[in-house]
Structure 1
Amino acid sequence: MTRPRWGFSLIEVVVVIAIVALLAGLLLSAVQQVRGAAARMQCQNHLRQLALGCHHYAAAKGQLPPGVVIGNGKPEQVPMFCSTWLVHILPYIEQSAVWEQVQAAYRADPSPFGSAHQAVAQVVIPVYGCPSDSRVSSPQVIPDSHLVKSLSSYLGVMGDNYASGDGVLYTDSQVKMVDIRDGTSQTLLIGERPPAANLTFGRWYNGRGQAFTGSLDAILGVREINLRPQGIPDCPRVVYRFEPGDFWDNCDVFHFWSPHSGGANFAWADGSVRWIPYSAARWMPALASRAGGEVVELPE
């Protein structure tokens, strides 16, 4: 008597493999979504800490920190020349030791481009970086200077652009809370924007930006302009708006965007952190101005 042979047919094997592949794909997608959600939440937490640092600074100094200190452009005449708001809030985000390094560097050399500043410029401040961008987790070699610097994922909102002066953190700004007449819950303070693809812009320490305006380094307008050739010569001189970006496109340095899908996190002047979808781009100028009188209802 012949015993029956038990096994799988070719079709059954193919079906099983297909099911396993489908399940693996679904699992991978779920893992990526969880990681993405965790990174987005961590970014929100970072922005909340930075906004709180700005509030503590304002409570101590009577005004919000300057977006970047430029003055007359002469380091020997301008205290803490090219220092950014990210530098000025250091004592208020539990980074007093780094703040002391900054002070020592400026005492040794009033120009932030000197060798006395190189060590502190390489310090990585964890709360300044988005976990979705590995470049901000360690110092990077800057191509234009071949110096090593640390970077930031978060920029102060200048207002409409580098020259408008209608925001909260801009060149030599001295904005008081009472100056934010649109309401602190209706005015942007800080937003997400990864460093430039070629790392030319995005430094937290020496924030000279394009044409010594601070723009692109630690502060940015919501409708920024490329000041060629001081900006990025290969990018068109157009108005850049809030839209998706890419780590490998240098031109995306001119507008707010995030590695998170669909929009970006922003800290508001009241200290809250809220998500803004790219579909709300047309409302950004109104949200970036501190006293424009606009009333905005963001889409969900």
Structure 2
Amino acid sequence: MRRRQCPNGYTLIELLVVIGIIATLLGLLLPAVQKVRAATARLQCQNNQKQLALALHNYHDRRGQLPPGLSVKSEGARLPFLGWEARILPDIEQANLWRQVEEAFDSDPDPLKFYGHVPHHRLLGKPVLLFNCPSDPRLPGPKPGMFGLIAFTSYLGVEGRNQDTKDGMLFRDSAVRMIDVTDGTSNTLMLGERPPAADLRYGWWYRGWGQSQDGSLEMLLGASERNVVGEGCPAGPFSFAPGRFDNQCDVFHFWSLHSGGANFVFGDGSVRFLSYSAEPVISALTTRAGGEVVTVPE
């Protein structure tokens, strides 16, 4: 009887060749997957900003003006240190959360103390996904902060050239009407991207003082912001440029986790990606009535 022949196994060299081919394919595939994920996150980020733009326009339609970038004396100081994002909650299908905001202020014996009321603490730590760019792995949170859990925003209102000029569309106690934007809403920035601070002290969506009880660095930012709080950073002015998670000084300027630039919302509601090479014209784009002649870069 013939012996049954056993099939030959793979040699070590053959196995090494197969492993090498698989490693090569993975090396080619992973960058492509990462690129697709980055593109998807950037698109989602743009969609978030588009919804925020629509909400701001809806607020304007109802009230005849945009919300204050940060409320301090607005409406007789009824809602002190409340950010613009909280004001548009009813326009982003968060009416229940807005009722909690109103209840927190109505029951607060001293709203100017800012952190002394438990209902405010709960809202400080309430994440709203629409306010967060999916490219930031730290978000949506909440994260531990000075006053308990804190929730953040990736999108800041453009207050103008800096925190003192108040020549943008959203700033402390602002009440800007679209008719006031004489530079043209398609040529004026309304929102921009900037991740929360490295130490998470700035970038809160609900309430915040910012640098000087003006919302600067918190939910508002200028094109050439100045440093008046120290933080071990230069005095400025700062400019539109790439940033890093571990650099506290990057809190003073617009930047994003997208490669090459950041998304901005214009006054007409459009969302555009501006590369860092657009820095020379960013300042002109932040003023609502500066009279500058500028071409929006593609």
When normalised by structure 1's length, the TM-score is 0.90
Aligned counterparts of 1:6 and 1:117: Cα–Cα separation in 2: 69
2:266 is matched with: 268
Would you say the 8 A contact 1:65–1:85 is kept in 2? yes
1:118 lines up with 2:121 in the alignment: yes
1:74-122, Cα deviation, whole Å (9 max, x unpaired): xxx6210000110111111111001000000001112332223111221
1:132 is matched with: 135
Relative to 1, partners in 2 of residues 1:272 and 1:19: Cα closer, same or farther, differing over 3 Å?
same
1:107 is matched with: 106
Would you say the 8 A contact 1:228–1:237 is kept in 2? no
1:96 is matched with: 95
1:256-297, Cα deviation, whole Å (9 max, x unpaired): 111110000111110111110001011101110111122322
Relative to 1, partners in 2 of residues 1:7 and 1:222: Cα closer, same or farther, differing over 3 Å?
same
TM-superposed CA distance for 1:135, in Å, is: 2.2
- SS of residue matched to 1:136: coil
Q: Which runs of 5+ in 1 are unaligned?
A: none
TM-superposed CA distance for 1:228, in Å, is: 2.5
Question: AA paired with 1:102?
Answer: V
Give the stretch that moved more between structures: 132-141 or 102-111: 132-141
2:86 is matched with: 87
1:130-178, Cα deviation, whole Å (9 max, x unpaired): 1111322221111xx2421111110000110000111000111110000
Say which of 48, 66, 88 aligns to 1:46: 48
Would you say the 8 A contact 2:38–2:258 is kept in 1? yes
2:5 is matched with: none
Q: Which runs of 5+ in 2 are unaligned?
A: 1-7
TM-superposed CA distance for 1:26, in Å, is: 1.4
Q: Report the aligned-residue RMSD.
A: 1.9
- SS of residue matched to 2:50: helix
TM-superposed CA distance for 1:192, in Å, is: 0.7
Would you say the 8 A contact 1:169–1:219 is kept in 2? yes
- SS of residue matched to 2:159: strand
Say which of 212, 234, 237 aligns to 2:235: 237
Say which of 279, 290, 293 aligns to 2:291: 293
Q: Percent identity?
A: 48
1:185-209, Cα deviation, whole Å (9 max, x unpaired): 1110001100001000000011210
Would you say the 8 A contact 2:68–2:175 is kept in 1? yes
1:188-237, Cα deviation, whole Å (9 max, x unpaired): 000110000100000001121011111000000011111124xx2x1111
Aligned length: 287
1:63 lines up with 2:61 in the alignment: no
